[in-house]
Structure 1
Amino acid sequence: MTKPISLCTFAAGVMLAFAASAAPAATPAPAPFTATYQVSQGGQAIGEAVVTLKSVGNGQWEYSNQTRGTSGLAAALGANSSETTHFRWNNNAPETVSYDYHMDAAIKSKQRHTEVNWNTHQVTVDDGKGPMNYASVPGMVDRNTTPYALGLALRAGKQAVALPVAVKRNVETQQFKVAGTDSVKVPAGSFQAERVERSDNQSFSAWYAPQKYPVPVKLAQSDGGNLTLELVSFKNGN
């Protein structure tokens, strides 16, 4: 997604995904958490992202990513974004039911709503220019919940996977692999982290400590602004 620096790129937040490639270990049910990240560009902190997971009842969960500009151009433009997904827990993995994206800045605003009807197997996407429809795929997630799906897959021992991700006009199969283990130091601490790279897109890498956290400890994205997200804190529970 190249994009105006600190605007649309802010909304991307953490965008990675994993699915099964080998016989998986049992995956535990979701557990609520709050993870806070520092967002940097060119080595300078420009914002904060807060990711939360909580139960909303009826077998559904809410995964939210709230990002705001705190310094530099991002703060000057009032760049803030929110991504909220409701998902169901199906076959030991998240499966998207709905996704909402809002981005607000002094010079630009954007929004998108995605709804999945699992009875008719249809996805409807509306960004204010009229709805678009396409067929859903079992196990499908969206760009917001893919980091969580990735963390769960790594925790289960998976190393190379393909995940169906609902994007604007279709379901996109994204390929990922564990490319190595690195020593990573972020505000939350130092970790021996698994480095994940997207096989079909070399613009970013993510580092996970999957037995400790289900989300990345660090993510570097070169496409659309050279953004880096580093974990500051992680809290279990609501």
Structure 2
Amino acid sequence: MTSSHSLRTFAAGLALALSTTAAFAAAPAPTPFTATYQVSQGGQVIGEAVVSLKPAGNGQWVYSNQIKGTGGIAAALGANSNETTTFRWNNGAPETVSYDYKMDAGFKNKQRHTDVNWTSGQVTVDEGKGPMTYPSAPGMVDRNTTSYALGLALRAGKQSVSLPVAVKRNVETQEFKVAGKEAVKVPAGSFQAERVVRSSDQNSFNAWYAPQKYPVPVKLSQSDGGNLELQLVSFKGQ
């Protein structure tokens, strides 16, 4: 595997991995937190991900996912990425207001900015080559907040979840379901977790949740972003 290919799978895979929201009736208001993950590829630890949720005022929240390469080719290339979403808490559900993605690996940089105008019902996406627009959808989120939204749905007792997600050119409906319960051991502890799969491809995405304890996964594994695995190291409520 070349260095550039490893970098692409590292950044894209982590974004997708920590990346699944929709309207969830009667969901409680968000609670601030910071979660730290160990990131591995092919059994080798290659990075650390820190996910946090903080209030932004006026009924809005900031959900951040910061990733740093700490081992292997990711560390050698200085691979870092940052995803930041501002969402509003609307009728007991998160809805994206803006989303920013930045990836810096020394010789390669990538960025995306997304704005949602809920008054006009338009999404604007710009990756530095000129903006593109498309219609929004109620309860719509972005790839960064997907795993958080999925955790909220599980906490509310849902066994299947349909999420409208704003991607580059359109709103994409993503379907997930609980495949069963399994014992999981990660650095943060041992859990009897619910295993969630993506309905369209059950082998490429697996996330394990202890939803009554944490709104984010305790473990996540995926094959379509570079064979990555994330394990929860610590979770701190604020």
State the distance in 2 between where 1:164 and 1:14 align: 16
State the distance in 1 between where 2:128 and 2:212 align: 40
Do structure 1's residue 90 and structure 2's residue 90 form an aligned pair? Answer: yes
SS of equivalent residue, structure 1 residue 65: strand
The count of corresponding residues between Structure 1 and Structure 2 is: 232
State the distance in 2 between where 1:127 and 1:234 align: 32
Do structure 1's residue 43 and structure 2's residue 47 form an aligned pair? Answer: no
State the distance in 1 between where 2:58 and 2:22 align: 26
2:160 match: 160
After superposition, the Cα gap between the structure-2 partners of 1:172 and 1:51, relative to the gap in structure 1 and judged at 3 Å, is same
1:127 match: 127
State the distance in 2 between where 1:210 and 1:199 align: 19
Specify the code of the residue in structure 2 equivalent to 1:9: G
Do structure 1's residue 218 and structure 2's residue 209 form an aligned pair? Answer: no
Structure 1: gaps of 5 or more residues = none
Bigger helix share: 2
Contact 1:205–1:219 under 8 Å retained in 2: yes
Query: Can you list the C-alpha shifts for 1:39-92, whole angstroms capped at 9, x where unaligned?
Result: 000111100000000001111100000000001000001110000000000121
- Aligned residue runs from structure 1 range 1-238, under 5 A: 4-16=8-20, 26-202=26-202, 203-237=204-238
State the distance in 1 between where 2:221 and 2:231 align: 9
- 1:155 Cα offset (Å): 0.3
- 1:151 Cα offset (Å): 0.6
Specify the code of the residue in structure 2 equivalent to 1:87: F
Structure 2: gaps of 5 or more residues = none
**C-alpha RMSD of matched pairs (Å):** 1.5
- 1:18 Cα offset (Å): 6.4
- 1:180 Cα offset (Å): 0.3
State the distance in 2 between where 1:19 and 1:187 align: 32
- 1:15 Cα offset (Å): 2.4
Specify the code of the residue in structure 1 equivalent to 2:36: T
